[in-house]
Amino acid sequence: MKPVIALVGRPNVGKSTLFNRLTRSRDALVADLPGLTRDRHYGEGRIGERPFLVIDTGGFEPVAKDGIMHEMAKQTKQAVAEADVVVFIVDGRQGLTPHDKTITDFLRKSGRPVMLVVNKAEGMKYTTVTADFYELGLGDPYVISAAHGDGVMDLVNEALDAAFAQRPAEEAAPDPATRGIKLAIVGRPNVGKSTLVNTLLGEERVIAFDMPGTTRDSIEIPFERDGKHYTLVDTAGIRRRGKVFEAIEKFSVVKTLQSISEANVVLLLLDAQQDISEQDAHIAGFILESGRALVVGVNKWDGLDNDRRNQIKMDMERKLNFLFFAKFHFISALNNSGIGPLMKSVDAAYAAAMAKLSTPRLTRALIEAVEHQQPRRKGSIRPKLRYAHQGGQNPPVVVIHGNALEAIDDNYKRYLEKHFRETFSLVGTPLRIELRSGK
């Protein structure tokens, strides 16, 4: 599982600047999709080959009330509890403040490893900028400039080392053999996740039910359905009790992100008896950014009248239109209805995500697309698209080579995506287009 780094500190020390630097979105297209709400407090980062999750605890307001720390936002407490390592940021230009001490006390009680980081240190001497902060008793501070990037790589590498040192037991635990499609079932509390898992596992052969759980409650349940193998991975928000799975009341963004990143296909469950909420849209946004294949189950379809059915369909079209690439299924986990077709779409989404697209086929499709519609000129520059090859799977990445490709706008990129999607029948998976200009 990806290590989790929480960024903590009082307002204005540079948390979100660091967060943005660590999670800089790889895909500008994602940012433009209408309807997509982003939770800017959670993101994925990567340093070399090391992926991680990062949480910006932006809500941390240690405002003193009668000298006592104000009740910290629940989210922030949860974030610290779920983090493997806490990066505690202080402001090197401002020096030590009483709030920094309050936060230190809280972090000490949390029992998490803490790295003290002095930000805004560009152009300053280590000894000068750190002198104040030894008083916190957190050891030698790290020194960075989040704005300029100085020291950030080293900091993250150290944080990841600390995170891995934290969980030797888990690393050593034998991984149950995952087979077939790795499937995560996600959704906000009460949409029917555990009901669906019980329905799926109840009627089908569970190959090895008793998997040793790790310290972090991760779940891996291989099962077989219609002769096909699947493994349920680390499904957030449910827990095993005896032979059945039960819902966990608390919603955890971190667990949801972990589940998504471990899966090949994500099954997003929605509740047809409720309107689409912010939380649904956030989770959908995480899935989109992760690039995982996706199938949407609109659950509790039983017992709804036609008016309600139309209403929820319109609500989804309005709020989740950025999931245009996914199949929506109207199901009842409770009555075991619609589950067969749903799982067929899981298979199809997986096949699309793993599709192998040869260079000649991709190039032919590219030429077709360009013949049908040329990219626009930008001034006197006309982009020239020459050939395409596949740059990755799950999600498929199509890398297009040519000249002056930086002049290609998002609309044209979307047109290309649509063309590749249709040509290769890619349903249920995001598709990324990368443009590479030769010099």
Binding residues for GTP: 9-16, 56-60, 119-122, 187-194, 234-238, 299-302
Among 2, 112, 120, 329, binds ligand GDP (CB under 6 A): 120
**Choices 35-43, 192-200, 350-358, 405-413 (CB under 6 A): range interacting with ligand GDP:** 192-200
Task: Give every CB contact of residue 257 below 8 A, 6+ residues apart in sequence.
Answer: 2, 42, 44, 53, 286, 290
Q: Give the residue among 256, 168, 251, 248 at the shortest CA–CA distance from 214.
A: 168
333 touches ligand GDP (CB under 6 A)? yes
Phi, psi of 328 (to 5 degrees): -105, 130
Contact of 280 with 202, CB cutoff 8 Å:
no
Which of the stretches 76-84, 114-122, 403-411, 420-428 binds ligand GDP when contact is defined by CB under 6 A?
Answer: 114-122
119/345 with CB nearer ligand GDP: 119
Q: Report d(CA 299, CA 271) in Å as an integer.
A: 5
**If binding is defined by CB under 6 A, does position 13 make contact with ligand GDP?**
yes
Q: Does 145 bind ligand GDP (CB under 6 A)?
A: yes
Both tokens assigned to 149: 């990037």
User: What are the two backbone dihedrals, phi and then psi, of residue 246, each rounded to the nearest 5 degrees?
Assistant: -125, 155
332 contributes a contact to ligand GDP by CB under 6 A: yes
Least separation in angstroms between residue 195's CB and ligand GDP is 3
Q: Which residues pair with 228 in a beta bridge?
A: 225
d(CA 368, CA 383): 16
Q: Which stretch binds ligand GDP (CB under 6 A): 75-83, 168-176, 260-268, 296-304?
A: 296-304
Cβ proximity to ligand GDP: between 14 and 375 the closer is: 14
Q: Which of 146, 265, 326, 385 binds ligand GDP (CB under 6 A)?
A: 146
CA–CA separation, 201 vs 219, rounded Å? 13
- d(CA 366, CA 135) in angstroms, rounded, equals 62
Q: Which stretch binds ligand GDP (CB under 6 A): 101-109, 141-149, 279-287, 409-417?
A: 141-149
SS3 107: helix
Under the binding rule (CB under 6 A), the answer on residue 401 touching ligand GDP is no
For position 247 contacting ligand GDP by CB under 6 A, the verdict is yes
Query: What are the E-state strand segments in 96-215?
Result: 114-119, 142-143, 181-186, 205-206
| Contacting residues for 175 by C-beta, under 8 A, at least 6 apart | 220
Is residue 14 close enough to count as binding ligand GDP by CB under 6 A? yes
Options 11, 59, 95, 139; binder of ligand GDP; rule CB under 6 A: 11
Q: Can residue 96 be called a binding residue for ligand GDP (CB under 6 A)? A: no
Q: At what angle do helices 193-203 and 339-353 cross, to 10 degrees?
A: 90
CB within 8 A of 271, min separation 6: which ones? 187, 188, 190, 191, 192, 299, 300
235 makes contact with ligand GDP (CB under 6 A): no
Q: Which stretch binds ligand GDP (CB under 6 A): 119-127, 223-231, 281-289, 379-387?
A: 119-127
Identity of the residue, 190 or 423, whose beta carbon is nearer to ligand GDP in the bound complex:
190
Q: Which amino acid is at 323?
A: L
- Token pair in block for residue 15: 């948390």
41 binds ligand GDP (CB under 6 A): no
Which amino acid is residue 257, in one-letter code? L
Residue 75: CB minimum distance to ligand GDP, A: 15
Please tell me whether residue 299 binds ligand GDP under the rule CB under 6 A: yes
Indicate whether 75 belongs to the interface with ligand GDP (CB under 6 A).
Answer: no
Instruction: Tell me the Cα Rg of the chain.
Output: 24
- Which of 15, 182, 421, 432 contacts ligand GDP by CB under 6 A? 15
Q: Is 39 in the site for ligand GDP (CB under 6 A)?
A: no
Q: Contact region for ligand GDP (CB under 6 A) — 74-82, 183-191, 279-287, 404-412?
A: 183-191
Per CB under 6 A, does 432 bind ligand GDP?
no
Strands (E), 252-382: 265-271, 293-299, 327-330
| Cα atoms in the 13 Å half-sphere on the side-chain side of 436 | 12
Q: Residue numbers of the site for ligand GDP (CB under 6 A)?
A: 9, 11-17, 58, 119-120, 122, 145-148, 187, 189-195, 237-238, 247, 299-300, 302-303, 332-334
